Amino acid sequence: MSGITVNKVLRAEDRRAALEIVEQVFLREKQWISTVGEQLPEVLEENGRFSWFLARMDGEPAGVLRLLYDPVLELPGEYDVRLLPGVDVERMKRDGRYVEIGRFMIGEAYRRNPAIALRLMRTATREVIERDYTHFITDVFEGEKHSPLNFHTRVLGFEVIGKHLFGDLNCSSTRIILTLDILKVYGRIRNSRSKVYRELTEGIRGILERKMSSAVR
């Protein structure tokens, strides 16, 4: 896995490389968007509301992931949101600080290498934890050919909280709403010998342990 690198998109060079992946996957392959350039702001701040991460494989752009801090948890009525029984948005807002994962995509040539997605998630998780956020929230498409639903739920530990029919991407598939309590999942996997979990937490176990200790005081 030495050929995989992930860095935060702050330079124009990295922005262009990230847009290559967006164009390849979301525009040409999936046809979920009509333009590419507006997907990434021309200027991204180190600690702004958005963070983009770019993965490269042997120097070539391979995948991207976007974070949105403090997303609005109440989706617009026209999205036709249906939350599962017992899901309380007001309680979610009281109990956690949320970051939305979006535009999470891997280039077609690299989809057989799960380490790329794991490295992107590890890098994103480090930033989220360091900024004192506690939960991820995301949408994945139900039944879509390359949907990461199984990856998110079986590997990463996301939980389904609802569905909605419409969103900002041009896709007719139902959106599955997922959330992840970062420390809860880490508490479950911290002693696992799984190579996947070791890769996911490599280099960030120290900060996760400190957060765990603080949470139980």
Query: 132, exposed or middle or buried, with CB in 10 Å at 0-12, 13-18, 19+?
Result: exposed
Supply the pLDDT for residue 67.
97
Q: What is the 3-state secondary structure (H, E, C) of 132-160?
A: CCCEEEEEEECCCCCCCHHHHHHHHCCEE
Separation between Cα atoms, residue 111 and residue 21, nearest integer Å: 12
Average pLDDT rounded to a whole number, residues 175-184: 94
Do 163 and 99 contact (CB within 8 A), yes or no?
no
**C-alpha atoms less than 13 angstroms from C-alpha of 114 in its C-beta half-sphere:** 12
Per-residue confidence (pLDDT) for residue 17, from 0 to 100: 97
**pTM of the prediction?**
0.91
What is the spatial distance between Cα 93 and Cα 133, in angstroms, rounded to a whole number? 12
pLDDT of residue 1: 44
The rounded distance, in Å, linking the Cα atoms of 40 and 178 is 23
Say which residue, 59 or 213, is predicted with more confidence. Answer: 59
Architecture of domain 4-215: 3-Layer(aba) Sandwich (3.40)
Angle (CA) 203 47 37, round 5°: 105
217 pLDDT exceeds 80?
no
Q: What are phi and psi of 213, to 5 degrees?
A: -65, -40
Given this model, what pLDDT does residue 192 score?
Answer: 85
